[in-house]
Structure 1
Amino acid sequence: MTPDEAIKTARALPCWTAVSAAVPLDGGITNHNIRVTDKGRDYVVRLGQDIPEHGILRWHELSLSRAAAEAGLSPQVHHVEPGALVIDFIDSVALTENDLHDEATLMQATDLIARVHRDMPRYAHGPILAFWVFHILRSYAHDLRERGSRHTPQLSGLLDEADMLERAVGPVDLVLGHNDLLPANILRAEDRLWVIDWEYGGFNSPLFDLGGIASNCDLPRAAEEAMLTRYYGHPPDTALWRSYSAMKCASLLRETMWSMVSEQTSTLEFDYADYTDKNLNRYRAALAAFTDKDT
Structure 2
Amino acid sequence: MTAEDRIRALPCWTGGIEIAPLPGGLSNANYVVTDAAGRHVVRFGKDYPFHHVFREREVMTARAAHAAGFAPAVRHAEPGIMVTEFLGAKTYLAEDVRANLGRVAALMRAFHREMPTHVSGAGFMFWVFHVIRDYGRTLEEGGSRKRSDLPRLLTLADELERAQKLLPIVFGHNDLLPANILDDGNRLWLIDFEYAGFNTAMFDLAGAASNAGMSDEESFAFLTAYFMKEPDEAIRRSHAAMQCASLLREAMWSMVSELYLDAPGIDYVAYTEENLARLDTALENYRTKYGMQKS
Give me the TM-score of the superposition, normalised by structure 2: 0.96
Is 2:97 aligned against 1:100?
A: yes
| Distance apart, 1:19 and its partner CA | 2.9
Contact 2:101–2:225 (8 Å) recurs in 1: no
% same residue? 46
- Unaligned ranges ≥5, structure 2: none
| Distance apart, 1:225 and its partner CA | 0.6
SS in 1 for 2:117: helix
Is 2:205 aligned against 1:210?
A: yes
2:282 maps to what in 1?
Answer: 286
2:193 maps to what in 1?
Answer: 198
Which residue among 215, 219, 230 is the counterpart of 1:220? 215
Is 2:5 aligned against 1:32?
A: no
Which letter maps to 1:260? M
Which letter maps to 1:226? A
Note the 1:154-169 alignment, pairs <5 A. 154-169=149-164
| Distance apart, 1:106 and its partner CA | 1.9
Note the 1:1-295 alignment, pairs <5 A. 5-102=2-99, 105-269=100-264, 270-295=266-291
Which letter maps to 2:271? Y
| Distance apart, 1:40 and its partner CA | 4.2
Which letter maps to 2:133? R
SS in 2 for 1:169: coil
For residues 140-181 of structure 1, what are the alpha-carbon distances to aligned partners after superposition, in whole Å with 9 as ceiling and x for unaligned? 011101111100011100000000111111423210000000
- Unaligned ranges ≥5, structure 1: none
For residues 174-220 of structure 1, what are the alpha-carbon distances to aligned partners after superposition, in whole Å with 9 as ceiling and x for unaligned? 10000000000001112111000000000011010010011001101
| Distance apart, 1:97 and its partner CA | 0.9
Give me the TM-score of the superposition, normalised by structure 1: 0.96
| Distance apart, 1:6 and its partner CA | 2.3
Which letter maps to 1:20? I
Question: In the aligned structure 1, how far is the partner of 2:289 from the partner of 2:185?
Answer: 41
Which letter maps to 1:84? I
Question: In the aligned structure 2, how far is the partner of 1:75 from the partner of 1:277?
Answer: 34
For residues 119-160 of structure 1, what are the alpha-carbon distances to aligned partners after superposition, in whole Å with 9 as ceiling and x for unaligned? 111211222310000000000011101111100011100000
RMSD: 1.2
| Distance apart, 1:36 and its partner CA | 0.6
Which letter maps to 1:233? M
Contact 1:10–1:34 (8 Å) recurs in 2: no
For residues 225-247 of structure 1, what are the alpha-carbon distances to aligned partners after superposition, in whole Å with 9 as ceiling and x for unaligned? 11100110111111111111111
Which letter maps to 1:189? D
Q: Which moved more, 1:11-20 or 1:79-88?
A: 11-20
Which letter maps to 2:235? L
| Distance apart, 1:284 and its partner CA | 1.0
